[in-house]
Amino acid sequence: MAELDLSKKVADRYLKREVLGEGTYGVVYKAIDTETGQTVAIKKIRLGKQKEGVNFTALREIKLLKELKSPHIIELIDAFPHKGNLHLVFEFMETDLEAVIRDRNIFLSPGDIKSFLQMTLKGLAFCHKKWVLHRDMKPNNLLIGSNGQLKLADFGLARIFGSPDRRFTHQVFARWYRAPELLFGTKQYGSGVDVWAAACIFAELLLRRPFLQGSSDIDQLGKIFAALGTPSPSQWPDMVYLPDYVEYQYVPAPPLRSLFPVASDDALDLLSKMFTYDPKVRISAQQALEHRYFTSAPLPTDPDKLPRPAPKREPKASDFDSHEGPTVLSPPRKSRRVMPGRDGFEGNSLQRDKVEDNVGNSRQSAGDNTGKNDPAPMSLDFSVFGLKPPNRPTINSADRSHLKRKLDLEFQQPE
Ligand code: ADP
């Protein structure tokens, strides 16, 4: 019983505000930490129907994530179970890199692009040094604070809660950042998967649109090979032994310069090293940071001078799940629960907006140094955007109360 009281007390700490969006693992709320006055983002992860044993490894790993502190990693402030959901409390961030890339009013200078990439790689290098992989790197997982600092969000969650389900809208986007070894079904992968995704993000910063937009895993590999050439077995000896390996028609690599006409030589050299097929040969995040691209002119822009989208609109009353202002997360008020897919939740329309904006962005206005020589935009599969992601079970557990107790022990002891 003692642990339940403890759980309630921690949950009472947060005043729930509006829904920020629906992510891979569940709904994300804005909230106020009444102990510190800090604005936070709370990710509510549905634990689902429990069939198997309590996943203690998962809980241990969440505890490890709490220890992962770096200026370029979103801080996991707190974690607590409540009503069959796990709540992860993160520092609140103003915007994300996807919003920056798609904002047609924003001009990104070469120094700006360098700065965004440098912060991304710093976050990655820090986590890889601690043997933590991200596995779900994409521009909207790179959050940006009011001081322009970019921080990686959702670090390690893909490993703990499983890879996002491919039927989901989010996952369709995530595919565009997936390394070829993952697409060929490798079971043993390493930090190289995050570096590949960072390369896709680097390319997206240069092009102002997603670089490789596959509509299926097979198509994704086809897009990669068309852009970077089909890898030969000598280039990537392990490739032919991968579980889902299929032979693709040989396509020679077009010059990278033809795809990124306005990028500097240093930028292209780093990009090609990050896009190396053989993960054993692919540059690491730390090595990438030491590349001359970051020391040659122009230098990375100071984060507080980076362009950011105009502030988001003020939340409307309908965004709140109460008409009486903020509600306390616990004890819950059932009638006020906001559920995705009900109550006029706007997650999907936001997603659609993003896509429409992306399409608009595929032709950059003159004056954008990165986009005016874009090759024709690659095809976008609109059919996927009509899909409504169902709620997704995450941790399996035979014993919810056991799980609660374990979480209490793991997270709610005084610091
Ligand atoms: P996904 O799983 O698709 O990456 P997330 O679960 O990370 O999505 O986030 C869902 C929504 O919540 C997004 O709109 C994201 O911008 C917002 N969000 C997530 N974390 C934070 C945070 N720390 N601060 C502010 N907004 C956040």
The yes-or-no answer on residue 353 being catalytic is no
Best of 14, 18, 28 to mutate for ligand 1, by most ligand atoms within 8 A of CB?
28
Look at residues 13, 11, 7, 67 and name the one whose alpha carbon lies nearest to residue 37: 13
CA of residue 342 to ligand 1 center, whole Å: 19
CB burial class (10 A; 0-12, 13-18, 19+) of residue 32? middle
CA of residue 235 to ligand 1 center, whole Å: 38
Q: Is 22 annotated as a binding residue?
A: yes
Catalytic residue chosen out of the listed positions 103, 136, 154, 321: 136
Q: At what angle do helices 265-274 and 192-207 cross, to 10 degrees?
A: 150
Question: Which atom of ligand 1 lies nearest, measured to the CA of 140?
Answer: 4
* Single-letter amino acid, residue 62: I
pLDDT per residue as tens, the chain (415 positions): 444 444 454 578 899 999 998 877 788 999 999 889 999 999 888 776 544 434 566 677 788 888 889 999 999 998 888 777 888 899 999 999 999 999 999 999 999 999 999 999 999 999 999 988 888 899 999 999 999 999 999 876 766 666 554 444 445 458 999 999 999 999 888 999 999 999 999 999 999 999 999 999 999 999 999 999 999 999 999 999 999 999 999 999 999 999 999 999 999 999 999 999 999 999 999 999 999 999 999 999 999 999 999 876 555 544 444 333 333 433 332 222 222 322 322 233 323 333 333 333 333 333 333 333 333 222 222 222 233 333 322 333 333 344 344 443 444 443 3
What span, in angstroms and rounded, lies between the C-alpha atoms of 5 and 11? 10
**pLDDT score recorded for residue 135:** 87
- The span from the first CA to the last CA of the chain, in angstroms, equals 21
101-104 — which CB contacts under 8 Å span 24+ positions? 101/139, 101/204, 101/205, 101/208, 101/209, 101/361, 102/208, 102/354, 102/357, 102/358, 102/361, 103/309, 104/357, 104/360, 104/361, 104/364, 104/365
**pLDDT score recorded for residue 299:** 98
What span, in angstroms and rounded, lies between the C-alpha atoms of 61 and 179? 24
**pLDDT score recorded for residue 361:** 35
CA of residue 153 to ligand 1 center, whole Å: 8
**pLDDT score recorded for residue 180:** 96
* Structural domains of the chain sorted by starting position, each given as residue range(s) with its CATH number in brackets: 2-91 (3.30.200.20), 95-304+394-412 (1.10.510.10)
CA of residue 352 to ligand 1 center, whole Å: 16
Question: Which atom of ligand 1 lies nearest, measured to the CA of 22?
Answer: 10
Q: Is 262 annotated as a binding residue?
A: no
Query: With the CA atoms of 348, 351, 355 and 358 taken in that order, what torsion angle do they form, in degrees rounded to the nearest 10?
Result: 160
Contact 397, 55 (CB under 8 A): yes
Contacts of 51 (CB under 8 A, 6+ apart): 396, 398
What residue ranges line ligand 1, CB within 6 angstroms?
Answer: 20-21, 23-24, 28, 41, 43, 74, 90, 92-93, 96, 140-141, 143, 153-154, 170
Q: 280-317 b/e with 16+ CB inside 10 Å = b?
A: eebbbbeebbebebbeeeeebbebeebebbeeeeeeee
What span, in angstroms and rounded, lies between the C-alpha atoms of 337 and 310? 30
Note the pTM of the prediction, 2 decimals: 0.73
> If you ran DSSP here, which 8-state letter would residue 136 be given?
-
